Structure 1
Amino acid sequence: MFLPILFALLFLFSSSNAADFCVGDLYGPQGPAGYSCKKETLVTVNDFVYSGLAAAGNTSNLIKAAVTPAFSAQFPGVNGLGISLARLDLAVGGVVPMHTHPGASELLVVVEGSICAGFISSANKVYFKSLNKGDIMVFPQGLLHFQINAGKTPALAFVSFSNPSPGLQILDFALFGDDLPTDIIQETTFLDVVQIKKLKGVLGGTG
């Protein structure tokens, strides 16, 4: 009596329809849970391999920094797995301004150089430190945080996220890089109009 029941259970679990993975179909619809799944018959090993983080990003820009993502949009194998990665290159004087990732916590590991990094808690307490090669720092989900090259040589770090699409909002661009009217910014930030218009000019905002 016991053996037939055991065999029946083994058959039930071995024939389960539970998927091992959900490689993102980048040509299909995307919802809050991520991309829809690519047909398993079309999945190859290349869906689980990504080489895009091997090359340094272009830091010839306003912030002298580059973030190269390996999110589900670039690396469909991480779709649905609750993980992703990115490469962070900081030239001398480079900075990643105050920003948040609404959908994920972040873990940063310094590979080269020195990076001053920190975040602000919801109680407005500041946690920051200069990190060196091999140091790791975590940034809790949704909190404002930043990274600055704290040395005299280029810095390199890799960051992992607890979401294949962590999202991003940069505070400076949210305030000064769009069409939010100057008078509203003035009233909500206590900055003067001249400074606001100067920042809008630098960051491409209007209004």
Structure 2
Amino acid sequence: MASAATRFLLLRAMLLAAAIAGVLSDPTPLQDFCVGDLQAATTSPPVDGFACKPQASVVDDDFFSTAIAAAASTNNPFGVNSTRATASTFPGLNTLGVSITRVDMAPGGLNPPHSHPRASELVMVLKGEVTVGFTSSVNRLYSKVVRENELFIVPRGLQHFQLNTGAGDAMFVAMFDSQSPGVVTPTFAMFATKPAMPMEVLTKTFLTSEDEVTAMRSKFAGF
């Protein structure tokens, strides 16, 4: 039978795990809904969501959005474009802990490796054929060719990508368990920061020369 000291340590571990889980997810709402007041955000920056619109001024259209109804142009170097429905573009999502993104892809289009620090991502392909993959913390790659109406899940915070490996255009929706999942793309975080990442950091990270780093930076100058 476990000693009192052991039981105390286990209890502390369980409480710590519960606390961490709470930190890593959107807070549970304390009301039926809280339609985001985007006008108030212009004078008072939001923290963990927007202030609520007065209940008396909430209307049916606050729970409706056409944010991802139309395809976006894929005329860019990556052949991909994302259209997001987060709380900032769909105020009815505020405090509900969900959001969705539409991703349109030209043939061969790539959504470069990136991560979402505040959300897991559920991918559903609606058109074409998309290879989806993520890497674990031990650098194990998990990937799958996902076709129409099929699903693929990407765990929270892990680096992942989507590549159009079909013959034509592709489109998928990505569903998140956060109203604002965030996005971190390593290539941009390394080569397109302002101010610039120190040259020594980049040359040592990529085991390369200053000339090669300068060449890489030039490719991201327009982003």
TM-score, L = length of structure 2: 0.81
Provide structure 1 residue ranges, at least 5 long, that are not aligned to the other structure. Answer: 1-17
In structure 1, the residue matched to 2:214 is: 197
For residue 69 of structure 1, what is the amino acid of its counterpart? R
Whole-Å separation in 2 of the counterparts to 1:79 and 1:32: 12
Whole-Å separation in 2 of the counterparts to 1:193 and 1:148: 30
Instruction: Name which of structure 1's ranges 31-40 and 67-76 shifts more when overlaid on structure 2.
Output: 31-40
RMSD after superposition: 1.4
Q: 1:19 deviation in Å? A: 2.1
> Equivalent of 2:38, from 5, 23, 26?
26
Instruction: Name which of structure 1's ranges 67-76 and 191-200 shifts more when overlaid on structure 2.
Output: 191-200
In structure 2, the residue matched to 1:10 is: none
Whole-Å separation in 2 of the counterparts to 1:77 and 1:104: 19
Structural mapping, 1:174-185, within 5 Å = 174-178=189-193, 179-185=196-202
In structure 1, the residue matched to 2:96 is: 81
Provide structure 2 residue ranges, at least 5 long, that are not aligned to the other structure. Answer: 1-29
CA contact (8 A) 1:65 1:88 kept: yes
Q: 1:44 deviation in Å? A: 1.0
Whole-Å separation in 1 of the counterparts to 2:179 and 2:113: 21
Q: 1:20 deviation in Å? A: 0.6
Whole-Å separation in 2 of the counterparts to 1:94 and 1:199: 20
Whole-Å separation in 2 of the counterparts to 1:191 and 1:128: 29
Structural mapping, 1:147-162, within 5 Å = 147-162=162-177
Whole-Å separation in 1 of the counterparts to 2:74 and 2:125: 17
Whole-Å separation in 1 of the counterparts to 2:105 and 2:201: 33
Structural mapping, 1:45-56, within 5 Å = 45-56=60-71
For residue 115 of structure 1, what is the amino acid of its counterpart? V
**Structure number with higher strand proportion:** 1
Whole-Å separation in 1 of the counterparts to 2:68 and 2:46: 26
Q: 1:171 deviation in Å? A: 1.1
In structure 2, the residue matched to 1:14 is: none
Whole-Å separation in 1 of the counterparts to 2:209 and 2:163: 26
In structure 2, the residue matched to 1:114 is: 129
1:99 equivalent in alignment to 2:99: no
For residue 106 of structure 2, what is the amino acid of its counterpart? A
For residue 161 of structure 2, what is the amino acid of its counterpart? F
Highest Rg: 1 or 2?
1
Aligned length: 188
For residue 74 of structure 1, what is the amino acid of its counterpart? T
In structure 2, the residue matched to 1:187 is: 204
In structure 2, the residue matched to 1:60 is: 75
Whole-Å separation in 2 of the counterparts to 1:198 and 1:124: 27
Q: Secondary structure at the match of 1:34?
A: coil
- Alignment identity in percent? 36
Whole-Å separation in 2 of the counterparts to 1:154 and 1:95: 12
